[in-house]
Structure 1
Amino acid sequence: MNKKLIGVVAVAGIAAVGYFGFFAKHNTANDATIYGNVDIREATLAFRTGGRVAEVKVDEGTIVKKGDVLARLDPEPLNNNLQSATANVAALAARNAMMHQGFRQEDIEQAKAKVQAAEAALVNAEKQLARQTSLVTEQATTQHLLDDVRSARDQASAQLKAAQQQALEMQRGYRKEEIAESDALLAQARANLANAQLAVSDAVLVAASDGIVLTRAIEVGTMVQSGTVAFNLSLTKPVWVRAYVPEPQLGRYPAGAHVTLETDSTSGKQYHGTVGFVSPTAEFTPKSVETTDLRTSLVYRIRIVVDDADAQWRQGMPVTIRSAK
């Protein structure tokens, strides 16, 4: 009889162990709590142009808003370049307009008048040559004088041809190649002007988003090159939490799911967030969150956007996350 009682108790004990083991396993698989860390983005700010720092308006720890002025460069050299580029564009634009319009009618008439004068000069030179030639035949002049007159006639002929060519060119206007060259020079000058204007604008460094100045790397009087780091900014929005979800819990954290969050330093205060990204690729548990039992577990990385983060949230802070389901 005692043996039977012992057997019944043993069977009941085995059943109880099996039940509670299954319950524990089932409860773990459905546990909606995961853990992550605050992931606040940082921005490196630098001048896009070089120069001497004339003013620094913020320091480490300063809270800034988007559009706030952080620092300025000495604008005088940049303004000088801008004025030079502006004058160059004006000069080339005037010449370009002249080339497109062609020569003025007054210039064309003046060129024609030069042709007529050159023709008259050539006729006179021809007469002088004929007269000196007859006098040489009669031995009434010298060969040297005849050569001078012939040279004057040749010069008059050359001047007529030059005047005729100039008049023809003025009637036809500028060549297509000359106009194209003028267009290209004007376009280049305008691009240089745009760069000069941009350089003046870039002499003022502004915050691209809300944030807190983490580091300041410049002082008044510092000469900086283009791209030299001036500030590191910790962005206050958005605040993200990076977490890793085991595959059995993945269904609780789809993109768009609402979650609650707690930090160790806020005494149980709950925050709210939304899952914004779920990695499509599984990976081994990162060193920062793994335990002895999870070293070979595959997890999925998710990113949660915190809706109501306050000033207590800091980079790397551990966060407890629970599904809102």
Structure 2
Amino acid sequence: MNLTDYGFPVTALPWLLLALLCIGCGPAEKPEPPPIPVVVSPAEAYQGNGEVRYSANIQPYAHVELAFKSGGYLTHILQVKGVDGKRRNVHGGDYVKRGTVLAQVRQSDYEAKLAQAAGLNAAARAALEKANLDLVRARNLYAANSLTKSDYDKAMARYGEAMGTAASTGAQVKEARIALQDTKLKAPFAALVLKRKVEVGDLVNAGTVGFTLANTEEVKVVFGISDLMLKHVKLGDRLAVTTEALRGRQFRGQVTAISPSADPKS
């Protein structure tokens, strides 16, 4: 076959072949991915083990802001041994035993008040003893008709006044002794010190908070539940408690209180 017979010049042949080659070099079509197999099962009701889990906060069973009862200049704070072996003031993170003196204010002022009260009480008791002797004498004389009723009444009045003075000064001695004892701030129970709020040299008043303590020997677990579940929980129930800090261990707790109102934050 002669291409010139169809009106194509011979010189056009290379271009035609090139076009055919270019058409053959186009991108190949990508095969479609195979379908993903799916297993279909009929829906069934969930059969759980009946457990309901709640997030909770573990808190110290007792938490106290320990305040001074007697005011004055702070002269002493409990010293403990640090990790470096040196003595330092007790602070947050330290454990203290029950009755440990954590801090103390200056005692000299309270010792002087106690001595003054004791002196007044001693004088009052001496006056009471004399008034009692005078009353015994006046009673004997009055019984023998050797003393007038007016003088006898005066002896009775002096004895009553002396007895009142002795009782009043005795109460002052007791108060002064308590105030002196209260210059020492003691731990009411074995506790973890959460925070110390005073330094030596501070002037504290009665009611000034010196330490924040927490009893961590016993703890309480506080959690919230929905109102729908509340009917299933009652005082005395025993519940299982777990914590991430002690994995694998389970503790038993008892419901001891149920709040009468809902948490407004929940």
Distance 1:251 1:201 in 2: 51
Q: Partner residue of 2:191?
A: 211
- Could you state the TM-score of these two structures normalised by the residue count of structure 1? 0.56
Match status 1:33 vs 2:53 = yes
Distance 2:135 2:238 in 1: 75
Q: Partner residue of 1:85?
A: 117
Q: Partner residue of 1:293?
A: none
The structure where helix makes up a greater share of residues is 1
Match status 1:265 vs 2:245 = yes
Distance 2:230 2:199 in 1: 50
Q: 1:87 to 1:64 in 2, by over 3 A?
A: same
- 1:103-122 → structure 2 map (5 Å cutoff): none
SS in 1 for 2:199: coil
* Post-superposition CA distance 1:118-139 (Å, at most 9, x none): xxxxxxxxxxxxxxxxxxxxxx
Distance 1:230 1:282 in 2: 33
Structure 1 counterpart of 2:210, one-letter code: A
Distance 2:157 2:166 in 1: 14
Q: 1:104 to 1:240 in 2, by over 3 A?
A: closer
Q: Partner residue of 2:208?
A: 228
Q: Partner residue of 2:226?
A: 246
Q: CA RMSD in A?
A: 3.1
Structure 1 counterpart of 2:163, one-letter code: D
Q: 1:173 to 1:258 in 2, by over 3 A?
A: same
Q: Please report how far the alpha carbon of residue 38 of structure 1 lies from its aligned counterpart in structure 2 after TM superposition.
A: 1.6
Runs of 4 or more, structure 1, over 6 Å off, are: none
* Post-superposition CA distance 1:261-297 (Å, at most 9, x none): 1223333432332221234x353x653xx5xxxxxxx
* Post-superposition CA distance 1:212-256 (Å, at most 9, x none): 112112222222111111111122143111112334544653322
Q: Please report how far the alpha carbon of residue 91 of structure 1 lies from its aligned counterpart in structure 2 after TM superposition.
A: 0.6
SS in 1 for 2:256: strand
Say which of 146, 149, 154 aligns to 1:174: 154
Q: 1:282 to 1:82 in 2, by over 3 A?
A: closer
Q: 1:248 to 1:102 in 2, by over 3 A?
A: same
- Could you state the TM-score of these two structures normalised by the residue count of structure 2? 0.67
Match status 1:61 vs 2:93 = yes
Quote the sequence identity (%): 25
Structure 1 counterpart of 2:253, one-letter code: G
8 Å CA contact retained: 2:75, 2:106:
yes
8 Å CA contact retained: 1:99, 1:174:
no
Distance 2:67 2:105 in 1: 12
Q: Please report how far the alpha carbon of residue 207 of structure 1 lies from its aligned counterpart in structure 2 after TM superposition.
A: 0.3
Q: Partner residue of 1:202?
A: 182
Query: What stretches of structure 2 of length at least 5 have no aligned partner?
Result: 1-40, 79-89, 142-146
Structure 1 counterpart of 2:122, one-letter code: A
* Post-superposition CA distance 1:175-230 (Å, at most 9, x none): 54443333322222111111110011111111001211121122222221111111
- 1:42-191 → structure 2 map (5 Å cutoff): 42-57=63-78, 58-102=90-134, 168=148, 172=152, 174-191=154-171
Distance 1:270 1:203 in 2: 44
SS in 2 for 1:278: coil
SS in 1 for 2:242: strand
Q: Please report how far the alpha carbon of residue 64 of structure 1 lies from its aligned counterpart in structure 2 after TM superposition.
A: 0.9
8 Å CA contact retained: 1:55, 1:220:
yes
Query: What stretches of structure 1 of length at least 5 have no aligned partner?
Result: 1-12, 110-166, 291-325
Question: What is the aligned residue count?
Answer: 208
Distance 2:231 2:137 in 1: 84
Distance 1:194 1:218 in 2: 28
Q: Partner residue of 2:86?
A: none
Distance 2:148 2:135 in 1: 11
Q: Please report how far the alpha carbon of residue 82 of structure 1 lies from its aligned counterpart in structure 2 after TM superposition.
A: 1.0
